[in-house]
Amino acid sequence: IWRWLFAGILISAAITTWLPKDLFQNYLGDNIWLSMFLVLIVSLPMYVCATASVPIAAALVATGMPIGAALVFLMAGPASNVATIGAVYRAFGTKKLLIYLGTIIIGSLLCGWLFNSVIAKQTVGSIMQEHRMGIAATISAVALLLLMLRFAIAELKAWLTDIKQAKNSADLESRTFQVKGITCQGCAEKLKPALNALLGIVSTQVDVEKGTVTVKGIKFDNKAILAAIRNSGFTPTE
């Protein structure tokens, strides 16, 4: 989840840095229902991961968004998006889609209103304003950044390894031999170790139905392959 978390932190940092601290208070005041409806309209079609939505919601609360509207964002954002709405419509029809959207809309609005009624906005605002970057927060931020960097490097290494393996696979030579006497998987399991042990052979595939053996490798010796097939008790026809 590190990529989604990283994206959420970047977005929340942008919101905290560039949006006015009293944005929601200036334009929406204390109208909790209008705030929730506006957030709902944005959240329903937008895809936001549950992991990324948390820091974004925290940043929006810091700019004056009511805590109930933030809860609507946390519920409706990860629960729906344009792709999901289209998939539900195609798979289940209009009635099920309306039930699906109605559940999200009514549920998030009701929970947001109740949540906002229980937790006073002034309390949340004061907590956000009194927060200061202490030594523990600094250490945590550095540790989180190092962890994300570690995961990013690991994924980059895996990606480069996949590219290298694909390139090596494209450079491999392939040769197919017709072999008599292959009648079961036991024959295949007998042939594979003998051929894979040869110099230059990377992999061996045996097709029991067709009676063929396909080897892949680099600069392998055909004579050595034919000899290994005969020594295993089978007869190559080539």
| Alpha-carbon gap, residue 58 to 220, rounded angstroms | 62
The model's confidence at residue 98, banded by pLDDT at 50, 70 and 90, is: very high
At 149-198, the pLDDT tens digits run 998 898 888 777 766 665 565 567 888 988 888 888 788 888 888 888 88
- The per-residue pLDDT for 127 is 47
pLDDT at residue 33 above 60? yes
- The per-residue pLDDT for 18 is 74
Judged by average pLDDT, the poorest of 84-88, 120-124, 227-231 is: 120-124
Q: Evaluate whether 238 touches 180 at the Cβ level (below 8 Å).
A: no
- The per-residue pLDDT for 26 is 66
User: What is this structure's pTM?
Assistant: 0.49
- The per-residue pLDDT for 126 is 47
Instruction: Locate 64 and state its tokens.
Output: 């004056």
- The per-residue pLDDT for 107 is 93
pLDDT at residue 79 above 70? yes
The model's confidence at residue 108, banded by pLDDT at 50, 70 and 90, is: very high
In DSSP terms, 179 is beta-bridged to 236
> What mean pLDDT is reported for the chain?
80
- The per-residue pLDDT for 168 is 60
Judged by average pLDDT, the poorest of 30-44, 72-86, 153-167 is: 153-167
- What percent of the chain stands above pLDDT 70? 84
- The per-residue pLDDT for 99 is 94
At 201-228, the pLDDT tens digits run 888 888 888 889 998 887 778 888 898 8
